Amino acid sequence: MTHHAQQSAGQCPAPQPPVDPSRPLPIFGPAFSANPHATYEQLRAQAPVAPVEFDRNQWGYLAVTYRAALHLLRNNPGRFHKDPHHWEALRRGQVPPDSPALMMMAPRDNALWKDGPEYLRLRGAITAALRQVDTHQLAHTVREIADQLIDAFASVGTADLVRQYCDPLPTLTVNSLYGSPPALSEEIVHTVTRLFLAGPDAAEANAALERACLALTRHKRAYPGRDVVSSLIAAGLTDDEMVPTLILLFGAAGPPPAKLIASGLRRILTDDSFAGDVHTGVRPVTAALDDVLWNEPPVPNYCPLYANGVQEVEGVRLQPGFPILISFAAANADPSLTLGLPPEARTGNRGHLSFSAGAHACAAPDLARIICETGVERALDRLPGLALAVPADQLPSLPGPFIAGPATLPVHFQRGTPHPNRTGRTAAA
């Protein structure tokens, strides 16, 4: 898999696909979305890191084995860069401005896309801010917001848990940690999911989210408090750094936990090996969520890297200038991990890559677990008789390479009454 750039006299070479463009498999579109693991199996049969088309006419590589993915993640920044300025097609202006993938992979002045001292400075500010979060208060906040969301439909007896509960819950929780005013919270809830879905309106969602994050930054500069945003400001981040940093934090703490909650609830409602045991307490909710993180990670493919010169990974020569995406979904499903072992052997095993690894691993996996576990438990506690309203095989899944989980989760349950709202606050749904 070598790349031979064609160059004519007096003309710069145009970046070409790593191999013949008729061969790399696409990791987007209806066929991929219908059965992504079939694509991962085909790619794994080709190579541990295989060429793919990750957006229309945009080429790169996808790491599809656990060993290759871990090698790539652990060799940043030495052999593989995070900075998207190494993306050759982007440098040449060959990525359309309305490309859905561009909104997820374009350079931003935040820790996700930095290497070296700038990365350490920005990452240090983030970890210091998140370290101040009181985990007991966080669990209380999740329960409080969950009750407010459930109160809105408890008396009806039916709901789409994705739209009415799972999607807004993490972002509203994070907004509370960030001291965000209600109007801004509602705007952020609606835009961050649209951005992560990488659909045709991703550019519009990105612009709206940037405006909301700038407004939140200016609000907290005027009214600082004991919250994550104020901590980042106190660390010296400029507005130009605060906006992309908040987008990073909202992106990491919004859609992925939302889809983990939704997938966890779906697993409990559809998988007999979890449903009864979770309700009886024999298996905790965390076991269902760990099962999802292994088998259906909410971020199936991401963390693009760029080779520092030609690099070889398990016999594959990776050319510079092309994004190398990590398939967390394919790596977790690598047959070499479970050779000869029964599926239940993974119970309690958290060796999956769903929180990434290496220098750019998730900065606060424990906070994410608190949000997701509390969110699932609260839905099970508050909605007696919870069951799917449609057959499990009729639940649509999300399209695209960057986010996974049920697109909807229609349910019915025993009608109840709203809990008293002791705080007087309302949640944006």
Q: What is the pLDDT of residues 405-425, one digit of tens each?
A: 999 999 999 998 777 554 433
What does the DSSP assignment read for 178-222? HT--HHHHHHHHHHHHHHHHT-TTHHHHHHHHHHHHHHHHHHHHH
pLDDT more than 70, % of the chain: 87
Q: Check residues 43 and 275 and name the one with the higher pLDDT.
A: 43
Q: What is the pLDDT of residue 275?
A: 66
Per-residue pLDDT at 22? 54
Mean pLDDT in residue range 293-297? 94
Give yes or no for residue 399 having a pLDDT over 80: no
182-186, 237-241, 268-272: least confidently modelled range: 182-186
The pLDDT, as a whole number, for residue 287 is: 87
- pLDDT of 20 higher than 60: no
Question: Most confidently modeled of 70-79, 98-107, 192-201?
Answer: 70-79
Angle at 122 between CA 323 and CA 62, to 5 degrees: 15
Please state which of the ranges 176-190, 195-209, 318-332 shows the lowest mean pLDDT.
195-209
Residue 151 in this model has a pLDDT that exceeds 70? yes
Whether the pLDDT of residue 349 is over 80: the answer is no
Computed from CA positions of residues 137, 368, 263, 248, in that sequence, does the dihedral angle turn out positive or negative?
A: positive
Average pLDDT over residues 46-62: 95
Q: Mean pLDDT, the chain, as a whole number?
A: 88
More confident: 79 or 399: 79
**pLDDT at residue 280 in the model:** 61
| CA atoms of 116 and 78, how far apart (whole Å) | 10
The pLDDT of residue 341 is: 66
Per-residue exposure over 393-413, b if at least 16 CB sit within 10 Å of its own CB, e if not: eebebbbbbbbbbbbbbbbeb
Of residues 304 and 103, more confidence is placed in 304
Stretch 201-216: mean pLDDT = 89
Which of the four pLDDT bands, split at 50, 70 and 90, describes residue 277? low
- The whole-angstrom separation of Cα 45 and Cα 64 is 10
Question: pTM for the full model?
Answer: 0.89
pLDDT tens string 113-126:
999 999 999 999 99
**Six-digit token pair at 89?**
């097609």
Joined tokens for residue 119: 């990365």
Could you tell me whether strands 158-160 and 410-412 are parallel, antiparallel, or unpaired per DSSP bridges?
Answer: antiparallel
User: Span 399-410, mean pLDDT?
Assistant: 91
* Lowest-confidence segment of 141-155, 159-173, 273-287, 322-336 by average pLDDT: 273-287
Across the range 365-385, mean pLDDT stands at 96
Which pLDDT band, with edges at 50, 70 and 90, does 352 fall under? Answer: very high
- At residue 206, does pLDDT exceed 50? yes
List the chain domain ranges: 25-412
> Can you give the pLDDT at residue 278?
57
Has domain 25-412 been given CATH number 3.30.420.40?
no
Nearest to 83 by CA among 122, 113, 123: 113
CA distance 246 to 5: 38
